[in-house]
Amino acid sequence: MLSLIISLQKLKGVSVALSYVKIAGTGLSTPPRILSNADLEKMVDTSDEWIRTRTGIVERRIADPEISTSDMAYEASLKALEAASVEPKDIDVIIVATVTPDHLFPSTGCLVQSRLGAKKAFAFDILAGCAGFLYALKTGKAFIDSGDAETVLIVGAETLSRITDFQDRTTCILFGDGAGAVVLRRSETPGILSICLGANGDNWELLYLPAGGSRIPASEESVKKRLHFIRMKGSEVFREAVKAMEASSIEAIKKANITPDKIDLFISHQANYRIMEAVRKRLNIPPEKVFMNVDRYGNTSSASVPIALDEAVKEGKLRQGNIILFAAFGAGFTWGSAVVRW
Ligand SMILES: CC(C)(COP(=O)(O)OP(=O)(O)OC[C@H]1O[C@@H](n2cnc3c(N)ncnc32)[C@H](O)[C@@H]1OP(=O)(O)O)[C@@H](O)C(=O)NCCC(=O)NCCS
């Protein structure tokens, strides 16, 4: 397979010595405004104690009205580009994973492309719920593997507060806003070792946004019925998330040709510390190898994995050669896991 890719790359005139894909830089952007559990106690019938013990969340970030997804995506991208020493003009592809685009169209990817002045890049969005970042990672890697790109900007960005019903205590305590970005580049040494994705649309109604699409366009009635907010059956989603993240992680570990004890850091989608704990135990990963920041950001959907990665980098938790396991699960249902050599 590799030799076939190399032959194709030779034909396309691409440097053939570099045959892997690496994460070359990371960045994040989160809005400054904090919504604490104490604030939520004043809005719905809940308690700090309930939220902490059931989810691990203490506070989350909420974007001010003038900030939208593309603003945070742009800021996170600038930081990731700087960390990777890449100029916007060198980006070949921009992929934004989001369920809260600025507009249904054009894509948030195009808005980021314009703000960056990344004239050479083509750009689009991926909608794969909270697994969106891993779907984007797989897609970005595929462009590099195929020889169509050398440098890909991947962003996970969300303004979930815009689709959160702050009258619904079962969901409003969970979500937050933010963005994380990574730059992918061709490399001589192994970087991304495996990415395994999955989907099951059978249970789509367990987690969805009822209105605003072609099924239920916006109307006075849809607004009155609060159909433009997230609907979720939390405990069912919880069960499926644990099962799917365990299975896809086992698959990704196997495909990367390593054993679970080789994992140095487990960076999961930050939805609920109990979900991460359950997956960790099933995979036999010691607690000190799990990165968590759900306490400070809540669930930021597509943004959660790249935000966590950037914080892990900044906190010095990753050394060259370390093995990272990523896992995520979200609406669709969609899920995925990846093994990356840092
Ligand atoms: C949402 C979630 C935290 C709820 O925790 P849970 O342990 O499953 O709790 P349940 O939904 O079974 O509810 C238990 C009780 O708490 C109540 N409750 C729900 N939200 C509450 C809140 N914010 N404050 C106080 N009580 C609350 C429920 O009404 C229920 O009361 P009842 O027993 O009288 O009916 C949890 O299911 C979860 O995190 N699910 C996954 C969500 C997710 O990650 N979604 C995004 C995709 S990755």
Model confidence over 208-236: pLDDT tens digits? 999 999 999 999 999 999 999 999 999 99
> Among 235, 240, 301, 334, which is best to mutate for testing ligand 1, by the most ligand atoms less than 8 A from CB?
235
Give me the architecture of the 2-189 domain, per CATH. 3-Layer(aba) Sandwich (3.40)
Ligand 1 site residues, Cβ closer than 6 angstroms? 46, 50, 54-55, 130, 169-170, 173, 207, 232, 234-235, 237-238, 241, 271-272, 299, 329-330
The DSSP code for 196 is E
Region 271-276 average pLDDT: 96
pLDDT at position 4: 46
Report, at the CATH architecture level, how domain 193-341 is classified: 3-Layer(aba) Sandwich (3.40)
**Of the candidates 255, 253, 258, the residue with the CA atom closest to the CA atom of residue 325:** 253
Cα 62 off chain centre by: 17
Computed over every residue of the chain, the mean pLDDT equals 95
Q: Please check whether residue 303 is in contact with residue 157, taking contact to mean a CB–CB distance below 8 angstroms.
A: yes
pLDDT average, residue stretch 173-179 = 98
Give per-residue pLDDT as tens, 120-147. 999 999 999 999 999 999 999 999 999 9
Q: Is the model's pTM score more than 0.85?
A: yes
The residue ranges of DSSP E strands in the chain, in sequence order, are 20-29, 34-36, 59-61, 93-97, 122-126, 151-159, 177-187, 192-199, 207-208, 231-232, 265-268, 290-291, 323-330, 334-341
Where do we find the tokens 């990367």?
Answer: 256
Is 130 noted as a catalytic residue in this protein?
yes
Distance 237 CA to ligand 1 centre (A): 10
Q: Is 172 a catalytic residue?
A: no
Please indicate whether residue 3 or residue 21 has the higher confidence score (pLDDT): 21
Closest of 215, 224, 230, 200 to residue 335, by C-alpha: 200
- Distance of CA 11 from the midpoint of ligand 1 (Å): 55
Q: Is 299 a catalytic residue?
A: yes
CA of 211 to the centre of ligand 1 (A): 23
CB 141 within 8 A of CB 197: no
According to CATH, where is 3.40.47.10 located in the chain? 2-189, 193-341
Residue 215 CB-half CA count within 13 A: 6
Tens digits of residue pLDDT in 28-44: 999 999 999 999 999 99
The full 3-state SS of 153-186, as one line of letters, equals EEEEEEEHHHHCCCCCHHHHCCECEEEEEEEEEE
Distance 50 CA to ligand 1 centre (A): 9
Q: What are the pLDDT digits (tens) for 47-93?
A: 999 999 999 999 999 999 999 999 999 999 999 999 999 999 999 99
Give the residue, by CA position, lying nearest to ligand 1 atom 6: 235
Strands 192-199 and 59-61: unpaired
Phi, psi of 65 (to 5 degrees): -55, -30
Q: How confident is the model at residue 12 (pLDDT cuts 50, 70, 90)?
A: low
Q: Kindly state the average pLDDT of the residues 161-187.
A: 97
